[in-house]
Amino acid sequence: DADVTQTPRNRITKTGKRIMLECSQTKGHDRMYWYRQDPGLGLRLIYYSFDVKDINKGEISDGYSVSRQAQAKFSLSLESAIPNQTALYFCATSDFRVETQYFGPGTRLLVL
């Protein structure tokens, strides 16, 4: 079984809709991250969490929110989706001692 899972893997939604992307991990890591990747571009950090009660904004947090429901779960919400949020979204986890990141398979989101 995969250590980091994301649901859904693909999602099509309409402008203005609220959607949630979910991430779960079985690696026992304390740190979790949400990134977006646009075609031909690198990873941009949306939000990160170092512990259950810790939530921090990344470089592009506007229009997004997160919830760390448990050590193993970290959800990303788009409050009111817009077309320029169409992207590939990755969740990642790491251990604070080394910070090697382990990525989920990604969620491909299309906002019409």
- Binds other proteins by CB under 8 A, chosen from 12, 27, 79, 96: 96
Q: Does 101 bind other proteins (CB under 8 A)?
A: yes
Q: Does 26 bind other proteins (CB under 8 A)?
A: no
Cβ closer to other proteins: 41 or 70?
41
Q: Which runs of E-coded beta strand occur in the chain?
A: 4-7, 10-13, 19-25, 31-37, 43-51, 54-57, 64-70, 73-78, 87-94, 102-103, 107-111
- Binds other proteins by CB under 8 A, chosen from 11, 98, 109, 112: 98
CA–CA distance, 37 with 39 (Å, rounded to integer): 7
For residue 43, list its beta bridge partners: 37
Q: How many chain residues touch other proteins (CB under 8 A)? A: 22
- Binds other proteins by CB under 8 A, chosen from 41, 53, 70, 84: 41
